[in-house]
Amino acid sequence: METAIFAAGCFWGVEEAFRSVRGVENVTVGYCGGHTSSPTYKQVCSGETGHAEVARVEFDPSVVSYGELLEVFWKIHDPTQLNRQGPDFGTQYRSAVFYTEPEQRDIAEESKRQLQASGKFARPVVTEITPASTFWPAEDYHQQYLSKRGVSGCHL
């Protein structure tokens, strides 16, 4: 098993999108990239902890590659919006890839270059690609939030 961490706006939709990918064994929503230990949702929403809402994706690389997960990541949000996705704005909703090993960094940077060169977006792709810091799981009521409410997942 390997782990990937992605920030693409509100973590509920991000979680649902990755849950539906063959080879993904588990998705946990939480917080990464900040400077406060054990942050709460309320603290992260204040924008003062430096954390982003993220989905930690545990996957079987023999079934799905990190590159394929990046393809999902690019499709489920607007990577030209650094601190805003839809109605949500603030650094906690930034577009970011938190890599867990140098190979992931290299794959993510190349994938970002290819996306920018594709001409799909008129504006620059501003997604941050940074080393993963401590991942803090979100409160239990955030886990599988949409599926617990009968909301169908993201359709790619």
Q: Could you give phi then psi for residue 148, rounded to 5 degrees?
A: -65, -25
Q: Is residue 74 within a helix (H) or strand (E), and if so which, with residue range?
A: helix 66-75
Q: Is residue 67 within a helix (H) or strand (E), and if so which, with residue range?
A: helix 66-75
Q: How far apart are CA 78 and CA 31, in angstroms?
A: 20
Q: Going by DSSP bridges, is the β-strand pair 128-131/95-99 parallel, antiparallel, or unpaired? A: parallel
Q: Which residue has the tokens 């942050």?
A: 39
Contact 11, 76 (CB under 8 A): no
Asked if 10 is an active-site residue, the reply is: yes
Among the options 10, 32, 45, 154, which is catalytic? 10
Contacts 24+ apart (CB under 8 A), 108-111: 108/70, 111/67, 111/70, 111/71, 111/74
Query: Which residues does the annotation mark as catalytic?
Result: 10
